[in-house]
Structure 1
Amino acid sequence: MQRTRWGGIADHCFRGSGFFRVEERDGVFWLVDPDGGRFLSKGVNNVRLDADHVGNTGRIPYADACRKKYGSQHVWRGAVADRLASWKFNTLGCWSDELVAYAGSLPLATAPTNELGASFKRHRRDQIFPDVFDPEFSAHIRERANDHCSTRCHEAGLLGTFIDNELYWSPDWRGGDEVLTLFLNLQSHRPGRVAATERLQERYREFSQFNAIWRTPARSWEELATMARIEAPFTRLPAGGLNDMLEAKANLADPLRAAFSADCDAFVSVVAEQYFDVCVSAIKGADPNHLVIGSRFGYQPHSRVIAAAGRYLDVISFNCYEIEASALIDAYAATGKPCLISEFSFRGDDAGLPNSRGAGPRVASQTERAKCFELYVTTALRKPSVVGYHWFEHADQPAEGRFDGEDSNYGTVTIEDNVYAELTETMTRVNAAAEQIHAAGALRD
């Protein structure tokens, strides 16, 4: 099977444009590489020498081991690039040292995240989600997109741009807040709080109608605007699967809960529309040649957020640390856009690491870990919307824990840069067959 220099299948199905793009053929989505190859993005995240510090110290055990092994970062880059290519990976995922991309005998595509919304949020200490109604939001996003994207608009090897990583869209493992309640609890002068209140006023003609549902201590809209903390009257389950059915049943049983849910869904829809419109427009304005490959959803948001994403993005990306991702793929594919799994992993308890912190299933052994990879990827590839998958991550985390305490066996290599043979042998075999699996499985289903 002849391949292009990027690793795409050179079967003359598509013409090259000099950049990566998306195409659909016979109901199956593909990426097309710059030379016209039929391409699936097979990536590894965090490919870098200085991957993980121990806690908040300056110690980086992986870097120390690799300097002894290779002698220099330059030699390490070349060795790692060729090793990834030998495992049939073709993409450097997020947080990678992009000099690795051209350090080996074959180029690797790059897929950076520009943290557009997150960088604005960091300027506003009271925000969990960026205030998209702030007059400075659009200007900030355009400036950052221009800084990060305009200089790369002619790069053939840039797969596309991730907007952000795991913004908080709805209740998940991080908390039970809704985006609406987050905005209602901004400081009283913040534009987001004003916008949230105004939209509730549009939905309820009288304050008493609103308060019959929300049950706040306030007696007027004016008093509501001065409250330090507005508590949600109900807590909703994270979206997706059985939870959606449970929520629907609860709303049928309680009209007040149904009204609260409608308030939340209507508002997050407006926020999502503004966020994706501004961010995608800014990136495309700075770099019209490359794909916008999503905001790496950390947990399935409500359907209106997914719908808004589908209206603007070229590819919808999401992180999924489950045994397999079929349900999430189906939820995002409902937009009619292709999907990329931007993070997944499995941890083996025989690696000698605590595995006490971090997402994803723990399994008994490296043999099980390899089997889990194969099941996850082959199941995903049978979905016609899937155009790639990125493994988290290149090297194991330190046993002492990184900055956030994670101490898990996520690596393709150990902290001493020793290869996990069973895992990488399975990765090589599955990666080599990925296009065939995708074409045959997707068409059959």
Structure 2
Amino acid sequence: MDLSAIETRDVQLSIGYHQGQPVLRLEAGHQQRWPGITIVPAQDRWDLTDREAVSVVVRNTGEHPLRFGLRADSPNIEGQQQYIQVVEDIAAAQQKTVRLPLTRRAPAALRDKLFGMRGYPGRLNPDRGIDVAQVTAILCFVSQPDRAHTLELSQLQATGRYEDAIWLTAEPETLFPMIDRFGQYKHGTWPGKVSDEQDLQQRIAIEDQDLAAHVGPDGWTQYGGWSDGPQLEATGRFRVTNRDGKWWLVDPEGRLFWSHGIDCVRWTSGTTPITDREFYFADLPAKDSPLAVFYGRASWAPHGYYHNRGTYRTFNFTGSNLARKYGESWRQTFQQRSHQRLRSWGLNTIGNWSDPEIYGLAQTPYVVTVSSGRLPIEGSTGYWGKFPDPFDPAFRETTQRNMAAQQQAANSPWCLGVFVDNELSWGEEVSLALATLASPSKQAAKQAMIADLQAKYESIERLNDAWGTEHASWQALSEHQQPPPDHPRALADLQAFATRIADQYFEVCREAVKKYAPNTLYLGCRFAWVNDRAVQSAAKYCDVISYNLYRESVANFRLPAALDAPVIIGEFHFGALDRGMFHTGLRATANQQERAEAYLHYVRGALENPQLVGTHWFQFGDQATTGRGDGENYQIGFLDICDTPYPEIITTSRKVGQQMYRWR
């Protein structure tokens, strides 16, 4: 290889050997945000039209984890840079194949027909993607390092065969409808695809035999605790304990319990918007059909095509397929079968957003979810919305009212605990303090912050001296909606109020949970975007701290600031595109077997982590092929849209359930 033909950015290159094979060695610095290399074709472009992906084998030879990026470029369009990329975590000493699927820009004739989804058929994208016939560069880089790294690259190649060429060559009118009456992609075939109603119904007997042969793990209590483990005090409720340096849950019978769970155990996961997209679907039920009950209306759409478009019509393919499969008693059959499946699959917890009619049968431990008060801090921002104002009186009132509505479910011995909220945007360390200052004077949080500042500084002049500001009065500060111009001078006060917001939030939420369910665990708010200061506050008030962590592994996850507390994973998943779906979800794998292996690696790593007391997979069934209200259309279920289990991940989940207490 001619190293002089490779463009470099803050890296030193050399040729080496690993296990007798040549590798490209990179010594990457951290003076640039993306140190790495750019490889360009000898003849101006590579034509990858018939290829599915680009991949490279990466070995992290350093002592610290890194984030590695793989990118492909094509010529600019109207001055806009055209590229696709993937960034993945690679642990110290880990070797991993990083795969970049070749997302294609949709032909012009299709761009106004493809909308409302995160992933599209044919790996097209109406807004992004590259011209795969004109790939002008491949980039390999370390993403935003804070230290130097060493790594080795090998086997950089275009892989797989692209099999959806009809989306690039066929006339648009021949491509629609693209979804059959079962909610499946029409233009593909794969193992397990349903062909007709008889096929759907025949699967009942097949699964009945499987469930009879796999009734559930040996050595479990009725709750899924470790009956062969030590006997602790039986309190009749779930609780936490630390035993020999490891955190555990304890089930009502006094047995150690590790929560191997799954979210969204319900029959609505395959609900999809049909407004403006009726032409996508073949054979939707007539208005007088018994299946017409699965039409509905919704307005939830925080992102995507349906955002701010008001009410839209929907159809629930999961529900309609259950009715086709099980007949008039489909709902009761699905409820009972869900519990039977969970036990058979080695799962002992029904996770968030599940059907109360299912977990209310009290056959499998479950969690309850509650929303807090929603009046926001106006200056805040967030992926799912603005941050709630915990100082507003309505925050306490609404949180308690919502918790009161769940009082019966939360006080059952089968209730593992209560989550309040999900994936709030805590931001950087002082983001919420700055957001408070950017809010109007009537904001309760701002009034609380100014009261704190008045107590500390007494006069506005002293605050101005400390912050380098020129506010004429405390009222002027209240009406001012800009952050302090000299951020470092105000940092200590911003940090103090950031802690105050977090303390107030968790204190009020805990108060609500314990008021209506005093013996039930408070499981926190399911952190996704969070700073250390907020986590430290959570540790003061939560019985268990919760995170949604979409990673390859959580084996080395630790709470910040040397905190030692029990942690539960509220969400994680992996997906693949070999079963007729258009998007893998947040963690991609190549196929179902690799997805199952990723599941095993993640959960086994969690079992080895002394702080983790459980993992909950997101979710029970696949999302609709054409997406939910915000466009998510992920292949992330243990069940497909037709209620058929994915055998690869089921086999692996059973293995985890059988072995997890020994592994722990």
Q: Structure 2, unaligned stretches of length 5 or more? A: 1-217, 274-311, 381-385
In the alignment, which residue of structure 2 is the partner of 1:236? Answer: none
In the alignment, which residue of structure 1 is the partner of 2:434? Answer: 181
Bigger drift between 311-320 and 330-339 goes to 330-339
In the alignment, which residue of structure 1 is the partner of 2:570? Answer: 342
> Is 1:278 matched up with 2:535?
no
Provide closer, same or farther for how the CA distance between residues 113 and 34 of structure 1 changes in structure 2, counting only shifts above 3 A.
Answer: same
Distance (whole Å) between structure 2 residues aligned to residue 391 and residue 348 of structure 1: 15
In the alignment, which residue of structure 2 is the partner of 1:53? Answer: 271
Deviation at 1:130, TM superposition (A): 1.7
In the alignment, which residue of structure 2 is the partner of 1:147? Answer: 405
Residue 83 of structure 1 aligns to which amino acid in structure 2?
A: R
Larger RCO (alpha carbons 8 Å, 6+ apart): 1
Deviation at 1:19, TM superposition (A): 1.0
In the alignment, which residue of structure 1 is the partner of 2:607? Answer: 381
Q: 2:554 aligns with which of 319, 325, 330?
A: 325
Distance (whole Å) between structure 1 residues aligned to residue 470 and residue 553 of structure 2: 45
Distance (whole Å) between structure 2 residues aligned to residue 408 and residue 209 of structure 1: 55
In the alignment, which residue of structure 1 is the partner of 2:388? Answer: 130
- RMSD between aligned alpha carbons? 2.7
Provide closer, same or farther for how the CA distance between residues 222 and 24 of structure 1 changes in structure 2, counting only shifts above 3 A.
Answer: same
> Is 1:409 matched up with 2:635?
yes
Distance (whole Å) between structure 2 residues aligned to residue 319 and residue 153 of structure 1: 22
Q: 1:397 aligns with which of 623, 626, 635?
A: 623
In the alignment, which residue of structure 2 is the partner of 1:167? Answer: 424
In the alignment, which residue of structure 2 is the partner of 1:22? Answer: 240
Check conservation: 2:376, 2:389, Cα contact below 8 A.
no
Q: Deviations over 1:123-180 (max 9, x none)?
A: 888872222222343333333323322x345411011111211122114xxxx98111
In the alignment, which residue of structure 2 is the partner of 1:306? Answer: 535
In the alignment, which residue of structure 1 is the partner of 2:367? Answer: 111
In the alignment, which residue of structure 2 is the partner of 1:248? Answer: none
- Matching of residues 347-358 of structure 1 within 5 Å: 347-355=575-583, 358=585
Bigger drift between 422-431 and 93-102 goes to 93-102
> Is 1:33 matched up with 2:272?
no
Distance (whole Å) between structure 2 residues aligned to residue 385 and residue 435 of structure 1: 15
Deviation at 1:93, TM superposition (A): 0.4
Deviation at 1:271, TM superposition (A): 0.9
Provide closer, same or farther for how the CA distance between residues 366 and 290 of structure 1 changes in structure 2, counting only shifts above 3 A.
Answer: same
Check conservation: 2:264, 2:355, Cα contact below 8 A.
yes
SS in 2 for 1:142: helix
- Matching of residues 118-267 of structure 1 within 5 Å: 120-122=373-375, 128-149=386-407, 151-152=408-409, 154-171=411-428, 178-201=431-454, 221-227=474-480, 229-231=481-483, 258-267=488-497
Residue 298 of structure 1 aligns to which amino acid in structure 2?
A: A
- Matching of residues 68-107 of structure 1 within 5 Å: 68-71=324-327, 72-101=330-359, 107=363
Check conservation: 1:98, 1:110, Cα contact below 8 A.
no
Deviation at 1:214, TM superposition (A): 7.0
In the alignment, which residue of structure 2 is the partner of 1:253? Answer: none
Q: Deviations over 1:6-47 (max 9, x none)?
A: 111113431321111112211122111112222111111011
Distance (whole Å) between structure 2 residues aligned to residue 372 and residue 132 of structure 1: 39
Deviation at 1:296, TM superposition (A): 0.9
Residue 77 of structure 1 aligns to which amino acid in structure 2?
A: Q
Distance (whole Å) between structure 1 residues aligned to residue 412 and residue 560 of structure 2: 28
Q: 1:369 aligns with which of 590, 595, 600?
A: 595
Q: Deviations over 1:303-331 (max 9, x none)?
A: 2211111111111111001112245x312
In the alignment, which residue of structure 2 is the partner of 1:251? Answer: none
Check conservation: 1:216, 1:230, Cα contact below 8 A.
no
SS in 1 for 2:426: coil
Check conservation: 1:348, 1:409, Cα contact below 8 A.
yes
In the alignment, which residue of structure 1 is the partner of 2:319? Answer: 63
Distance (whole Å) between structure 1 residues aligned to residue 572 and residue 244 of structure 2: 28
Deviation at 1:279, TM superposition (A): 1.4
Bigger drift between 42-51 and 92-101 goes to 92-101
Bigger drift between 215-224 and 151-160 goes to 215-224
Provide closer, same or farther for how the CA distance between residues 400 and 2 of structure 1 changes in structure 2, counting only shifts above 3 A.
Answer: closer
Provide closer, same or farther for how the CA distance between residues 132 and 15 of structure 1 changes in structure 2, counting only shifts above 3 A.
Answer: same
In the alignment, which residue of structure 2 is the partner of 1:9? Answer: 226
Deviation at 1:268, TM superposition (A): 1.5
Distance (whole Å) between structure 2 residues aligned to residue 308 and residue 352 of structure 1: 44
Percent sequence identity over aligned pairs: 32
Task: Report which of the two structures shows the higher radius of gyration computed on alpha carbons.
Answer: 2
SS in 1 for 2:342: helix
Deviation at 1:3, TM superposition (A): 2.0
Check conservation: 1:52, 1:62, Cα contact below 8 A.
yes
User: Which has a greater percent of helix?
Assistant: 1
Residue 532 of structure 2 aligns to which amino acid in structure 1?
A: S
Distance (whole Å) between structure 2 residues aligned to residue 431 and residue 258 of structure 1: 51
Bigger drift between 202-211 and 77-86 goes to 202-211
In the alignment, which residue of structure 2 is the partner of 1:294? Answer: 524
Check conservation: 1:52, 1:60, Cα contact below 8 A.
yes
Deviation at 1:209, TM superposition (A): 7.4
Deviation at 1:401, TM superposition (A): 1.3
Aligned residues: 401
Q: 2:660 aligns with which of 415, 434, 438?
A: 434
Distance (whole Å) between structure 2 residues aligned to residue 61 and residue 177 of structure 1: 44
Deviation at 1:387, TM superposition (A): 0.8
Distance (whole Å) between structure 2 residues aligned to residue 333 and residue 102 of structure 1: 39
Deviation at 1:80, TM superposition (A): 2.0
SS in 2 for 1:348: coil
Check conservation: 1:395, 1:413, Cα contact below 8 A.
yes
Distance (whole Å) between structure 1 residues aligned to residue 379 and residue 490 of structure 2: 24
Distance (whole Å) between structure 2 residues aligned to residue 264 and residue 23 of structure 1: 35
User: Which has a greater percent of strand?
Assistant: 2
In the alignment, which residue of structure 1 is the partner of 2:39? Answer: none
Deviation at 1:421, TM superposition (A): 1.1
